[in-house]
Structure 1
């Protein structure tokens, strides 16, 4: 082999390995994009919500937002938001859900909303467990809890529904796994070896035993709609008792409430089980 070819291959390999090392070392900066601390609920579309401090199993005091259910039979939507922004950015969605008759708990993650701690799959799980523990203490058990996962929040909502129970699960802009997403965006790297936060929704949905609504925008340019179809197909093959797919023709990644998602959630929860 000529020396110049060997040198070129060596340079390419060096760049490739350096890129992989960079992605591994700084992956949290790619995965998580916390926004600034939110304003008070009174300054948002959901002024009837109130800040709620929850303590996690590892000792973090995290602020979430909560609007209790309107009566003793109404469900509570436990909302796990996506990887960017803060809870205030989901206030308009909470408004729509409150208006159709639900209580809403917007889960405030560690490292987000001015909360202490660093974001991550294991930490988000603890944050979600603290939210469910609070509802248990309020007498709101799994039969009245709807776990809602927006984008990366799906990776917390689904396994919690499997392990802690729920009345139903709703997903918005959900992916099959973060490994699949990484392969979609960086196909030249072995994502399964590099990722510390795999968020494997396909594995979780295979163990789900409550109704599932998967909502996705046909114009989603971040998570391919094919991933929603794969989640639905996997859930049906696994025997999930009811699986609905709502594809919004004009919807993007997480703007489905602008296209009638709240009514779609209500129809799903009011429909046959």
Structure 2
């Protein structure tokens, strides 16, 4: 093969390779005139993510509550991260010191509006919950897309954790819970925390955490300027109902939609 033929052959191969590269780049680039909002920046995916933390009741476990997430099938929960931690095992006074999963000590059951509270234990448990929330915020989830929910003792811890967190969260959902500290703690509630909405659900036939203990939460929250939606369920004892969980899905979904519209 002559030098001229070899040169022409090499030139043709180079031109073909360049053409393929240009075509490839054109396929990767967005079509001309495509609106910028249709090509979302990477940080928007993080803003659309959400986190739901579920806190179980006395003697229960996190894994036993994981089926709760099956009630949340709306598209808004596609990017939701769930956490179902288990409380540490410790002696519980109302159960004669028996060791069981417990977020803090409980002195008596049934729980009434005037029952004594383990405020020191509550604060220690709150620190652990805040550490879980802080990890998600550090991972890029916006605080207003974070929801803390809990049943019974977990509901009481939910309330304390949300009120004592320094930032506004997406919301706190209390099921069959109570206010686990005295009025002196109101000074620790930051102006931002007072903006976090609360959903409070309680069975009127509850014989473990009396309905009066749940009812006392509404005027307490109103006194500190926290918005609370209180829902009473006739004939419901100390348990979670399907109706409560379906309403929780709708409640959280509405707030996620509002958060996404605000970002948009």
TM-score w.r.t. the length of structure 2 is 0.56
Give a deviation string over 1:172-219, Cα, whole Å, max 9, x none.
111133xxxxxxxxxxxxxxxxxxxxx459945994331111011111
SS at match of 1:76: strand
Give a deviation string over 1:27-76, Cα, whole Å, max 9, x none.
xxxxxxxxxxxxxxxxxxxxxxxxxxxxxxxxxxxxxxxxxxx9852532
Provide the alpha-carbon RMSD of the alignment.
Answer: 3.3
Quote how far apart the aligned CAs of 1:236 are: 2.2
CA contact (8 A) 1:176 1:202 kept: no
Unmatched segments (≥5 aa) in structure 1: 1-69, 178-198
Relative contact order (alpha carbons < 8 A, sep ≥ 6): 1 or 2 greater?
A: 2
CA distance in 2, matches of 1:118, 1:231: 20
SS at match of 1:78: strand
CA distance in 2, matches of 1:262, 1:201: 30
Aligned residues: 177
Counterpart for residue 246 of structure 1: 231
Counterpart for residue 265 of structure 1: 248
CA contact (8 A) 1:205 1:234 kept: no
CA distance in 1, matches of 2:210, 2:221: 18
Unmatched segments (≥5 aa) in structure 2: 1-44, 91-100, 105-120, 259-264
Kindly name which structure, 1 or 2, has the bigger radius of gyration based on alpha carbons: 2
From 211, 225, 229, give the equivalent of 2:211.
225
- Is the alpha carbon distance of 1:202 and 1:263 closer, same or farther for their aligned partners in structure 2, counting shifts above 3 Å? farther
Tell me, yes or no, if structure 1 residue 103 matches structure 2 residue 81: yes
Aligned ranges 1:144-159 → 2 under 5 Å: 144-159=145-160
TM-score w.r.t. the length of structure 1 is 0.55
CA distance in 2, matches of 1:174, 1:164: 22
CA contact (8 A) 1:79 1:148 kept: yes
SS at match of 1:260: helix
CA distance in 2, matches of 1:140, 1:243: 24
